[in-house]
Amino acid sequence: MNGGITLAVSTIVFLLASIPCVGQTDTWHDKVAPTLLESSADEPIQFLVIMNERSDLSKAALLPTGEEKGRFVFDELTRTASRSQANLLAHLRQMGVEHRSFWLINALLVHGKTTLLKQLASRDDVARLVPNPSVAADIPSPPQSQPTPKEINATEWGIETTNAPDAWALGYTGQGVVVGGNDTGLEWDHQAIINQYRGWNGSTADHDYNWHDSIHSGGGSCGADSAVPCDDHGHGTHTIGTVMGDDGGSNQIGMAPDARWIGCRNMDQGVGTPATYIECFEFFMAPYPVGGDPFLNGDPSLSAHVINNSWGCPPSEGCDHDSLLEVVENVRTAGILVVASAGNEGSSCSTVASPPAIYDATFSVGAVDSSDDIAGFSSRGPVTVDGSDRLKPDVSAPGVDVRSCLPGGGYDSWNGTSMASPHVAGLAALLISADPTLVGDVDKLEDLIRTSARPITTDEGCGGDGLSDVPNNVFGYGIMNALAAVDCIDCDDDNLCTIDQCSFEGCSNDAVEDGIECDDSLFCNGEDVCFSGECQHEGDPCDEGDECSSTCDETEENCLAPSGTPCGSSATPSACDSPDTCDGMGACALNILENGEPCDDLDPATANDSCQPGGICQGEPTGVFFHPPSAGCGCALAGETPSRKSTLSRIIGALI
């Protein structure tokens, strides 16, 4: 009896399971990028599996040093990835599917067939599947013939005009700073960059923790998985040369000659993928030995402080504009500055359109020539591809006829925002060498570079830019200035020269007398503050738009000022220094009049008269001009009208 019931129940359950539920739909397609769904059946493809689980990295902002931030972010991300990917990794191994696991973003690179898409997208722990296309980076082509050490310019023009030598003279040359070259690779033993390689001690090379190759097949002249730094294109060698190149002789081609570089090849002969870019970002955030395990051997204490990215991953070639967003944001959260070229798609507006330049977490750089003109090819903002209308670039830097080193021991001049970005990466190295506490403080690094830039206006009107707008969507905040940026490190609230008030000429300790005009090279002393080109005496500055010649009130929103000076608001008598009050024309006045009495601020004999507290001055002052009675000025309580008698008395007095 019981056996029969069991059989019947099992049969019913089986039948019910075979009947589709009402309203149930096959939703796995929604997780798969359309370009993957368009692939032919059984076609070999590679794609990224983005997992659902994310780490909470919010505590990183509370940590005081860059090393602590890096360790925290690395530990959290690797822990999350290891735990959440475990079941899927076991499944892929069981099926014999080629894959690579990432921790910087909780994702895996999978090599398989289209038949895998439904199986993986149907999993609850998978968020989405996105393509991993091979993307030809927007970088200059290598020269057809072998360049030679000719046209030596000693210190190159881009280094000179951005005032890097002046920063060197102060003792800031990039010492103690590590910059990551995320590019086509590097010719590590080129005479201009060998002494700057962290893996070189002057006699022997150690590539562990200093070099990684993310190209695992192909690789051109370097082959795949090169165990030593190698450049199969030339672009990576050229860009790192602009960051720090110096052969010790007449080739001073770099911004920060005493900085150190570590490298990762993210492109195969100029062609990269989102996966190769992610792999290199992981290496720069937590380097590991050649052939090592990024999860087990990664060491965030050896990370880069700055990463230069002279490449783009355009959505037009299949690169999802969100593919690298989380990657770059996590790197920044770890306290590493991500610098990127804006792109070479100008001169139209909204041509900053490719990751990583489009992101708010990236410091993007446009290109100018030696005349401070924007390069025609330099991409303009605002960013519209992600719907943000974000202003880009952040700043501009030399990017035309930039001479740097190339594989084979030579040098050549190239054009591109690829050449501009490393100038800014080198500037960041100078800043950190001037103030090592900037390691991990990406916000302050970016603020220093932006606010010290030499402002340049434009008439191109991108994003609604006005003729006098700075920042704008062509130059950003202006052209980078190394000396001014270094000088502005000392601009703080203690000397009333805040970062926001720093000019491109930097801060000065020169005392300036009250009332003397101050300009971009002159600042007030510690008791004064410079506002709108004039030195204002005593106290802290009020809100933007107020000018204090004395002190601020308790709210720090209104100026307390003596007779005859502007007060913050005609409706706030407290804006004047006692016993003065604020008259109805926005000035401080001493003479207090009763309601109904005329006030006449244009008459020198009765200047500065004012209504009693609680009263307001209505109408315009008559002074020496005749006004109709309705326009006469008299004292009244708020909402009242001055008496006709007092108004007529004013008019008669004005005509005598």
Q: How far apart are CA 400 and CA 412, in angstroms?
A: 12
Task: Tell me if residue 235 is catalytic.
Answer: yes
Please pick, among 226, 341, 379, 418, the residue that the annotation labels catalytic: 418
Three-state secondary structure readout of 106-129: CEEEEEEECHHHHHHHCCCCEEEE
Task: Compute CA distances 14 → 8, 10, 18, 21, 227, whole Å.
Answer: 10, 6, 6, 14, 57
Task: Tell me if residue 540 is catalytic.
Answer: no
Specify the amino acid at residue 159. Answer: I
Burial class (CB in 10 A: 0-12, 13-18, 19+), 550: middle
Say how many residues make up the chain: 656
Q: How far apart are CA 303 and CA 285, in angstroms?
A: 5
Do the Cβ atoms of 49 and 86 come closer than 8 Å?
no
**Measuring CA to CA, which residue among 247, 253, 234 is closest to residue 195?**
247
What is the largest distance, in Å, between two alpha-carbon atoms of the chain?
124
Break the chain down into helix, strand, coil percent, rounded to 5: 30, 20, 50
Alpha carbon of residue 70 to chain centroid: 19
Q: How far apart are CA 106 and CA 121, in angstroms?
A: 15
Please pick, among 207, 212, 233, 235, the residue that the annotation labels catalytic: 235
Q: What is the DSSP letter of 493?
A: G
Q: How far apart are CA 279 and CA 273, in angstroms?
A: 10
**Coil/strand/helix, residue 365:** strand
Task: Tell me if residue 418 is catalytic.
Answer: yes
Q: How far apart are CA 395 and CA 408, in angstroms?
A: 32
Kind and range of the H or E element at 528? strand 528-531
Specify the amino acid at residue 445. Answer: L
Q: How far apart are CA 283 and CA 275, in angstroms?
A: 12
Please pick, among 183, 247, 546, 577, the residue that the annotation labels catalytic: 183
Q: How far apart are CA 336 and CA 179, in angstroms?
A: 10
Specify the amino acid at residue 421. Answer: S
**Measuring CA to CA, which residue among 338, 352, 424 is closest to residue 392?**
352
Q: How far apart are CA 237 and CA 406, in angstroms?
A: 6
Which token pair is 137?
């980076």
Catalytic residue numbers?
Answer: 183, 235, 418
